[in-house]
A and B are shown apart, each in its own frame.
Chain A
Amino acid sequence: AQSVTQPDIHITVSEGASLELRCNYSYGATPYLFWYVQSPGQGLQLLLKYFSGDTLVQGIKGFEAEFKRSQSSFNLRKPSVHWSDAAEYFCAVAPIQGAQKLVFGQGTRLTINP
């Protein structure tokens, strides 16, 4: 069965520090990959996506993610976090063929220290 693992439930970083959120997936074939962000009381906003091609993808708000096929990983990074980045981050996958349902990881809650 498809699964997505976000090993870190909660991460705290200082404002201005770099950030890396981990995501590993288990799938029969390389799926489509996504990162979403959920701010308190808000819906899910798409940060970035990987479908094919360059394995380093750029997203909104200064985020980027790198797809590593050999490690079945799609880690999210940001060079310097801002207090407004405090939120919950979800990694998700969708199959290339068949039903386009998203399978989500459990999420990583990001806290920013001033």
Chain B
Amino acid sequence: DSGVTQTPKHLITATGQRVTLRCSPRSGDLSVYWYQQSLDQGLQFLIQYYNGEERAKGNILERFSAQQFPDLHSELNLSSLELGDSALYFCASSQDQSPPIQYFGAGTRLSVL
């Protein structure tokens, strides 16, 4: 158990809908990262938050957004869903250290039908 909790484990929804994925980082970790794992793109970095502020952005679509709350949990919002958004979404967290080591949650599997 990495200590990173993601909910829900599975999500099935329809095209055009909006969903929210939740991540609770390990105790004491200030950074949260979101990654998408799909068959065609592999594992891709989406976005990083550090102590409530956006720190780095990757290949995140404009339809996707994230935030980190004062209690350090994070949410990834996916809207206007398309079939191609079906993927496994991972959250990772790390301490404020250099170099940081990222610990991953079990992921949320999103199926868009």
Interface residues, chain A, CB within 8 Å of chain B?
Answer: 32, 36, 41-46, 49, 51, 90, 92, 94, 96, 99-107
B42 touches which one: A32, A46, A104 (CB < 8 A)?
A: A104
Known pairs A46-B102, A51-B99, A101-B45. 13 more at Cβ < 8 A? A41-B106, A44-B90, A44-B92, A45-B2, A99-B48, A100-B31, A100-B48, A100-B94, A102-B33, A102-B35, A102-B43, A102-B92, A106-B42
Q: How far is the CB of B107 from chain A (nearest CB, A)?
A: 5
Q: How far is the CB of B110 from chain A (nearest CB, A)?
A: 15
Whether B58 pairs with A101 at a CB distance below 8 angstroms is yes
B99 lies within 8 A of A100 (CB): yes
What is the interface of chain B mostly: helix, strand, loop, or mixed? Answer: strand
Kindly state the interface size class of chain B when it binds its partner.
20 to 34
Distance in Å from the Cβ of B64 to the closest Cβ of chain A? Answer: 15
A99 touches B99 (CB 8 A): no
Q: Is the CB of B99 within 8 A of A103?
A: no
Given A101-B33, A101-B56, A103-B45, residue A43 in contact with residue B105 (CB < 8 A): yes
Which residues on the B side are within 8 Å of A45 (C-beta)?
2, 104
Complex contacts, B2 vs chain A, CB 8 Å: 43, 45
B101 at the interface (CB under 8 A from A): yes
In the bound complex, residues from chain B placing their C-beta under 8 Å from that of A102 are 33, 35, 43, 45, 92, 102
